[in-house]
Structures are given as structure tokens and as C-alpha cells.
Structure 1
């Protein structure tokens, strides 16, 4: 029961993002359903998990479409809540650490806005090369969790598939910068991302706000040494670039490399070789950036880049080594939380064909565009509910680990010391405590009363017996 009280105190921080209290209560109900459900079948699984009356299915679904949910404000408030709730956010050089990446989710609906043919590259042979689905970008923040690190999700947006104006020239890189503006992290931060984001637009967008990029660059990339003026300066614009340097050549001189214990997360008793060089990179608008050529005894070699010349190369390697944490959070969101398991179809939408590309909405009527916006809003609210659910599970695991284990009510073959409970363990603990919370707190807690009044009378007795 104490777990649910902590859960309620945390989610109440999001109340200002809703113009009506009832809309917030339905959103909290959706998040609670995410926490305790055992199946990932959309809104129906939430109704079953909380034993709600079947007649409330439409009301629960309609609450996700409501204009009372201020989506961007909700994402910003959730970011501030994360910074407030987690006691040990990761900091390097006094800066917070954010991680960004993209994810593609398969959707088979022919009447779902934003669905298009997507190409995905993966080392896994279980993923098809082409899928129909939604293409999204996500931002997470790294926090300390005992002896581990969590990537707490902050916001996700669908960034492909819908073209609202034929004058819109924004790329995925522009939209990632916009997403970072939405989450509104006021403190300076490092943004860690893969090689796709090693581009001028990302660097400029970050540096304009006094933030820095840590990423990997492709092996065929080139940079330039700063030009050293020799003799009297000639007329005209001063020369900027000196000798051309193939970045791959930094790996070809092992005698110029330094040795150090591997700072990569989870590695022990391994020694890596690295070489540091500050060069001008045209993709960054001629800015001087730091390149780190790393040779790993097991993983091979890679070229890392950081726009902060004061950051130690070992810290650059460590930060990029933590990038996989957002991919792990994607795995939990897909397989445990069901963050992307929405199935909202738009009845009046024109059916999509197999292999369909972008949907050009500037050619459609205003009524049709508004209907698409309403449906896309519902997708994003559903996703944000999953994000809040996952973040609250991580919060309870970090701050109340003993309480989680005492409420777990099940068995694990191996419990690793120094590692906080997983989302699966916390969700099981919340599921075990839910009947007691609803029955004993219905008169004192507003949320417990809200859910209890909407439960099916035939199943309410089951909750009382479970308590």
C-alpha cells in the first residue's frame, strides 16, 4: 500500500498539464493499468487489469483523445518530475546526460495516420528489412540506480509519415532538436546519440543552447587540422582549414595511442587503446571538435566525437558506452510496458495501401486534417502514459527497493546485489498491493475512490477477498 501512496504522490506532479481534473484522473487510471496489466492488448487490457465496468471502455478511450491534455506541457512537467524524484541524476563535468535515438514500431492498421513503409537496419535476423509502421524519436535522461544506470524516458514523438505543409522542409534532425526543446531541461547537458545525429543541424541546435554532443562518426569521415599562418597574411578572408585528415588514419598508428582500463559499463579487467585529436570538422560548420579513436580488444575499433574540448577522452568513451541504455529502455517499453501497443483506427480515413509512403495532408480538407490531428494526439498521449508508467516503475525501484522486494510476493532464481529491481519486479509488487490499496484507501485517497467507484461489482468482491 505504501508503494501506491508513493506512486500517487509522484504522478500528482503532472496535474497542471490537464485543464480538467477528470481528464487527469483518467490519465492516472491508464498509467495504473499499464503498471498492473499482464497482457499488452491496448485499452481493453487496462479495463481487465483494473476490473473496470465494460461500459467505461469508450470513456477511457475517449479520454486519450481529449483536448484537456496539454501534450507538450505534460512532457515538460514529466521532465521536471523526473529531475525532482530521482536522487542521483548522472552528471559529468557538472552537466546532465541525455540520450536520444529512433525507434520504428510495426503497425498493420490500414486506417492509422502516420503509418508508412519503413526500412530498418539491424544485426538481428529476426527483424524484417521493411515494415509498415510508425517512425518515432525519443529522448531519455540517465540517472544513477545503486551500482547501475537507468535511462528514464522523457518524451517520444511520431516524426515521419505525415506532411502538414508542402513548405515544411524540416528533417528528423530538426525534429530531434524540437523534441529537446519540448522536454525543457534547463541545466546544461551532454546529448549522446549514434552516428546518424553527427550532423551540422544537431551540433548547431545544441551549441546555441550551450549544450554538447557526444556521438560516433563514420569511418570514412574526414576532418581538417587548423590552418597555421606562415608569413604575412594575404588579402581576403583568412584561411580556416589546414591539412586534410582521414579520421580512419587515427587508428592506423598504434604507437601514438594511449592505454587505459576500459570505462565501458559492465567491463572489468580490460584495457583499451585510444588516441585523441582536436580537428576542424566541416559537418559542424568548421568548429573545432574532439575526436577519440578507440581500439577495443573485443569490440573492435570506433571513432567517437565530442563538441566539448574540455571533456576527458575517457569520459567520452564512458558516455558513449552508456548509449545502449536507451535501447534497453525501448525493449522494456515494447515487451513489458506496452508503450506502443495502441490500436486506434480513424474511421473516416482513406485506407492505406501496402508500401504507402507519406500522407500529404495539405491536400485534404480542414475537417480531415483536424481528425488526423485528434488521432495523432491520442497516439502521443497513450505513448506518454507508457513513458510515465516506465519512469514511475524505475523511480520506485531506485528509491524504495526494500519495499518493492517485500511486496514482490513471488520468486526469482537470482537476485543481483547492487542492482535495483527491474520494471517487471516493481510491476508485480504493485499488482500484489493493488487490492489492499483500493479497499483500504477508498475513503482517504482520491485516486483509490475514483477507481473503486468505477469497478465492476461482480469483481470488486474478488479485490476484497484478495485483501
Structure 2
């Protein structure tokens, strides 16, 4: 057992290989062999951070983390590691699963006396987007990046829009996330009347996103395949301005049976 432990320690600390090269080799193998799910010419990538409880005092990346679960029996804080993960959707839209692409520690280097290998300007949310960007750039494949409401921030959209696809004339990574209930958006401002002084207004009428469900006449009926079954869904998908980003975004409201 001691020999195996020493052998593993030498392997993981060896300088004869690099984790980034191993990860790139895994990506190159997955793309031609896995049954990829593509939507509108883009691969579907799922991303999320996860917290893992660890008690080891000498384990790398172990920090104090705040419990985000609503379960009252759990403590407010615990010791553990914060990981960021991205995976590729494979199979088919009716029967699919997530194939892991990359898993990285996102916190816990400074207390070990080591430099953070990530860009210090990147936050916890944008680091997951950076992982998806690295996959898309390294393999020259546009992707949809599906995230939860934690990532509904301007910095996430700004980073995703920083790299464009020349062929598609669109960002290489398109983010799909759930907006928070207290968010508001703005319709485009009407054109300025001729002869009126001042610059053209950018923001028009304000819309509270959650209150849009009260306007049933704005929705249209669409037939979608959900979990292998065709269902009637009411949708509304206008392009509105979002002030934190300062750019237009496409918002989608959906009313399912």
C-alpha cells in the first residue's frame, strides 16, 4: 500500500505531462466518438460549480465555504473544496446525459502559499464560462452554455460575448440561464422626433420580468417535444435591453402545461 501511495504521489507531481494537454487530448477523443447533441449547429455544454465537504487539513484547496442549501439541518459554513465543472450533452434530446469535459478547483490556493493559477479578475461564475470558452476555442466549435440562475450576471454575458465566431457572426459561446425574479428589462426606446434636441434615448418602457406572465395576449402557442412527447407551450421571446449589461438580450417566457 505504501508503494502504491508513493507511486501515485510521483505520478501526480511529475513534470513529464501537463493537465491542460491531457484535457485537450480527452476533448479531441470525445468529439469524433461521442454521439453529440447539436442544436442549431451548436454543441450543448452544461456548467455548474459544486462544493465537496473535506476534512483533511493538508488537502489542497480546502477552505471555509458557505452552505447555500435551504436545508436547515446543515451548518451555515463548512470546510471543503469548490469545484467548477463543465460537461457535454451526448445522446439525443429525448434521452441524453452529461459527459464530463473538465473539472477544476476554483478556490483555495492562497492559504497554501501558492499563487492562484486563474486570472484574478475572474469571479466564481465567470470561471465556469472561461472553461467553456477554452473548450470552444480549443476545438473551434460553437456551443450553447446552459447555466442556472447563479450565473445570471452581466460579467457572465460580457465574458461570453468577448469571443466571436467569424463564420456565424455571433458569439462563440451563447449563454442560456434563468433570470432572477427581481430582474427588470427595457423595451427599445422609440425614435426621437425630428428636430428634438439631445441624443437618442436607449431605454424605453420598463418591464418587470415576473409580471410579464400576467399579459397572456403577448404569448404565442408553440408545439415542442419535451421528454419525448409533443406538448403545447405558450412562449414569448422579445429582445430587450438589460441595464447591467448595457446591451440587448433575448428573454424567453414559457408557460408549460
- TM-score, normalising length: structure 1: 0.47
Residues in 1 aligned to 2:232 and 2:156: alpha-carbon distance in whole angstroms: 32
Which residue number corresponds to residue 46 of structure 2?
99
- Please list every run of at least 4 consecutive aligned residues from structure 1 whose deviation after the TM superposition is greater than 4 angstroms: 123-129, 233-237
Instruction: Please state how far the C-alpha of 1:138 moved relative to its aligned partner.
Output: 0.8
State whether residues 72 and 182 of structure 1, in contact with CA within 8 Å, keep that contact through their aligned partners in structure 2.
no
Structure 2 unaligned runs (5+)? 164-170
Are positions 1:193 and 2:193 aligned together? no
Which residue number corresponds to residue 134 of structure 2?
182
* Structure-to-structure mapping, 1:66-81, within 5 angstroms: 66-81=14-29
Structure number with the bigger relative contact order (C-alpha 8 A, sep ≥ 6) is 1
State whether residues 250 and 275 of structure 1, in contact with CA within 8 Å, keep that contact through their aligned partners in structure 2.
no
Per-residue CA deviation, residues 334-366 of structure 1 (Å, 9 max, x unaligned), is xxxxxxxxxxxxxxxxxxxxxxxxxxxxxxxxx
Instruction: Give RMSD over aligned pairs.
Output: 2.6
Structure 1 unaligned runs (5+)? 1-43, 45-53, 298-467
Give the number of aligned pairs.
241
Rg (Cα) greater in structure: 1
State whether residues 76 and 182 of structure 1, in contact with CA within 8 Å, keep that contact through their aligned partners in structure 2.
no
Instruction: Please state how far the C-alpha of 1:109 moved relative to its aligned partner.
Output: 0.8
Instruction: Please state how far the C-alpha of 1:228 moved relative to its aligned partner.
Output: 1.3
* Structure-to-structure mapping, 1:105-144, within 5 angstroms: 105-122=52-69, 128-144=75-91
For 2:241, which of 255, 273, 280 is the aligned residue? 280
Question: Taking structure 1 as reference, are residues 247 and 107 closer, same or farther at Cα in structure 2, changes over 3 Å only?
Answer: same
Question: Taking structure 1 as reference, are residues 146 and 296 closer, same or farther at Cα in structure 2, changes over 3 Å only?
Answer: closer
Residues in 2 aligned to 1:128 and 1:259: alpha-carbon distance in whole angstroms: 45
Are positions 1:246 and 2:187 aligned together? no
Instruction: Please state how far the C-alpha of 1:61 moved relative to its aligned partner.
Output: 3.0
Instruction: Please state how far the C-alpha of 1:173 moved relative to its aligned partner.
Output: 3.0
Residues in 2 aligned to 1:204 and 1:146: alpha-carbon distance in whole angstroms: 29
* Structure-to-structure mapping, 1:56-455, within 5 angstroms: 56-86=4-34, 88-122=35-69, 128-144=75-91, 148-163=95-110, 164=115, 168-183=120-135, 184-209=138-163, 210=171, 211-232=173-194, 234=196, 237-261=199-223, 263-265=225-227, 268=229, 270-286=231-247, 288-297=248-257
Residues in 1 aligned to 2:122 and 2:180: alpha-carbon distance in whole angstroms: 23
Indicate the SS of the match to 2:125.
helix
Question: Taking structure 1 as reference, are residues 277 and 109 closer, same or farther at Cα in structure 2, changes over 3 Å only?
Answer: same
Instruction: Please state how far the C-alpha of 1:123 moved relative to its aligned partner.
Output: 5.5
Residues in 2 aligned to 1:173 and 1:60: alpha-carbon distance in whole angstroms: 32
Residues in 2 aligned to 1:69 and 1:271: alpha-carbon distance in whole angstroms: 52
Per-residue CA deviation, residues 85-135 of structure 1 (Å, 9 max, x unaligned), is 11x311111111111111100000112232112123235677654321001
